[in-house]
């Protein structure tokens, strides 16, 4: 089973856009096609943002949480690995947690901060856009 670490922006978008790729990942996870994981840091960021920007979607956001596996926070070694990738300080814990979780992919829509890493694999973690993650999950389903 593929393990996809979701950045806060993917969860945020899934909560307010039922037709987007973020929500598609949750549907695929419900079909047992993949495991969605998140760190407390990313989940708290997503919760703050949904409460401020789309308060009417807080209930929908809360309904997505049981689909997520909360992983432990990264070690200092994993933080150092992520720091070496020229990320803003606020994004280092995201990549570090994906590495710590041994995720097959980090799914993020943050092109500004993660765009230079799209298509790369870092410590076994492929950095993917939500659209690429959906395509990868669907391709692995067809291959089975």
Query: Rounded distance, CA 99 to CA 23, Å?
Result: 23
Q: For 63-100, what is each residue's pLDDT tens digit? A: 999 999 999 999 999 999 999 999 999 999 999 999 99
Domain that holds residue 6: 2-143
The tokens describing 38, both together, are 């998140």
3-state DSSP assignment of residue 102:
coil
The tokens describing 130, both together, are 């939500």
The model carries a pTM of 0.94
Average pLDDT over residues 102-128: 96
What pLDDT shows up at residue 33?
74
In the predicted model, is pLDDT for residue 144 greater than 70? no
Domain with 22 in it: what CATH number?
3.40.50.1010
How many contiguous H segments (helices) and E segments (strands) does the chain have?
8, 6
Q: What is the count of structural domains for the chain? A: 1
Q: How much is the mean pLDDT over the chain?
A: 94
């Amino acid at each position: 089973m593929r393990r996809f670490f979701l950045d806060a922006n993917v969860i945020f978008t899934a909560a307010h856009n039922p037709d987007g790729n973020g929500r598609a990942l949750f549907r695929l996870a419900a079909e047992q096609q993949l495991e969605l994981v998140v760190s407390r840091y990313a989940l708290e960021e997503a919760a703050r943002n949904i409460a401020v920007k789309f308060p009417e979607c807080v209930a929908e956001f809360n309904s997505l949480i049981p689909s997520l596996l909360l992983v432990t926070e990264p070690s200092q070694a994993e933080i150092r690995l992520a720091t070496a990738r020229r990320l803003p300080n606020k994004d280092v814990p995201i990549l570090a947690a994906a590495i710590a979780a041994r995720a097959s992919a980090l799914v993020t829509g943050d092109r500004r901060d993660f765009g230079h890493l799209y298509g790369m694999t870092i410590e076994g973690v492929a950095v993917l856009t939500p659209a690429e993650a959906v395509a990868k999950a669907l391709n692995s389903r067809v291959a089975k």
